[in-house]
Chains A and B, each alone.
Chain A
Amino acid sequence: MSNDASVYVWGCYAIGVALPAIELALLCVRARLIRQHLGWGRRYGGAAPPRTAGTAAAGAHGDDNGPSADLQPRPRPAAGARQPPGQAEPG
């Protein structure tokens, strides 16, 4: 392979591999961030906080705050906490 052409050939193969790899990495980061913001569990790629007695009780009672409008994680109400106005008490 002549030196002149080899620069173009290796450059071509480098960008042919690098561009998809960069896209793939960005997609992985994006997916992880979205799942983290939605508060999804570890099983679906998010970083779930450890399940504590408080979150277990809240999960058992359900969470009726409605879905998040801005992809922000919502604080989970503690067991026995007062519900926001307009929402029924679970159970």
Chain B
Amino acid sequence: MHAPRHPLPLRGPLQPRALRRGQHWRSPQDAYFAARAWVPWLLAGAVLLGAIGLGGGLLHAQQAVHAGSAYRIIYVHVPATWVALFLFALFAGWSVIGLLSSSRLAPLMTEALAPTGALFALLALWTGSLWGKPVSGLWWEWDARRIADLALLSAFVAAVIVREVVDDTRHADHLTAVLALVGTMVVAAALSSVALLPQVNGRHNAQFAGPAGGGTRLMTALAATTVSFALYASAAALMRLRCVILERERAAEWVDTQRVRR
């Protein structure tokens, strides 16, 4: 006899009470359906806030004393850097959880976060070069922020490469987690040098000081773009998480159940 087919674990566009309690993020199966509910809202918020932040930065920002109109570049560069750091914190956090516990979700999360983190680290590096050329005449400067961006990009790209090269998924999970911890130390050292060696990074800080009198508008546009990038990054990571879950759990009964129910 066949076992009775189980109903879907999460139906409908949203089940807010269950999502608030967080009980749908405990297993890959639950996370798959919970992520499905979150992605449209995250993308909608990202588009709305992105239009506000980027539009405000591009059209209404005042010119800075040091950088002129090139100052508008920071409305993309700074949020991209912050979101890359935010994603790396999540990446490292899930790596630690994966190392210390037997969570099935943790390695999937790290696998889902790495490519999006690499994208934002690349964006931070690229826009940093676009900032440096008109302001200082150089595409690249060896200051702490650029090194931190480079370390972030290297760690994320290395994590993606490890996933592609190592066939054993458990081995790849452990390697990625160790990589995340090493990357954390490098990024932390680079960022702390910004505070510890202000004479080295002083010129960069002065250039980022911004236009006089534009504080409120500047911070509003920066905050809107940062939240927009963060919402987009969360949506992209959840979309990739759903793909990774299906790829890894393709032998699970719940995946087969969905295939039959059509």
Contact = CB atoms under 8 A, between A and B. Distances in A.
Contact of B119 (A12, A19, A71): A19
A34 B255 CA distance: 12
Given A27-B240, A34-B246, A5 B68 contact: yes
A16 B250 contact: no
A54 interface: no
B17 interface: no
Contacts of A9: 58, 69-70, 72-73, 130
A12 B127 contact: yes
B36 to A, nearest CB: 8
A90 B3 CA distance: 11
B247 A34 contact: yes
Interface string A1-43: 1101110110111011101100110011011001100111111
Given A5-B69, A20-B119, A39-B259, A12 B76 contact: yes
Contacts, number: 114
Interface in B120-145: 122-123, 126-127, 130-131, 133-134
Q: Which 9 A-B pairs have the closest CB atoms?
A: A41-B262, A16-B76, A1-B69, A5-B70, A67-B251, A5-B69, A27-B239, A8-B130, A12-B73
A82 interface: no
A49 to B, nearest CB: 9
Nearest to B115: A23
